Amino acid sequence: MEVQMVSRAAFAVLGIEGRGPADRGPEWVPPLWEAARARIGEVQHLITGGSWGLMSAVDEPFARWGAEGKYLAGFEVAWTTEAPDGWTLWRVP
């Protein structure tokens, strides 16, 4: 998989969040995407852009993973979106 680093204006992503060991990401990240795709019908009306996979350190928002990390598999939405039950909203500065 090719990783792309991009710069852009602030945006929001609504998705399914997980947390796990950095060295075992291939075990716990793909199921987040499976869940997000399976439940997209719940939030389709909120989606305004593409899909995003966001990574964050556990203790510092958007810092690189240490031994453990957080990941959000989701879809771009309006900045003012409220997360429905079972979904997590990350606002990317």
CA dist., res. 90 & res. 80, Å (int)? 11
**Sequence-ordered strand ranges (E) for 5-63:** 11-21, 47-57
Q: Residue 31's pLDDT is what?
A: 98
- Encode pLDDT of 17-36 as tens digits: 999 999 999 999 999 999 99
Domain spans in the chain, listed from the N-terminal domain onward: 11-92
* Dihedral angle of Cα 92, 39, 34, 72, to the nearest 10 degrees: 20
DSSP character at residue 46: G
* Residue count (the chain): 93
- Determine the residue type at 36: A
CA dist., res. 30 & res. 26, Å (int)? 7
**Considering the entire predicted model, what is its pTM?**
0.89
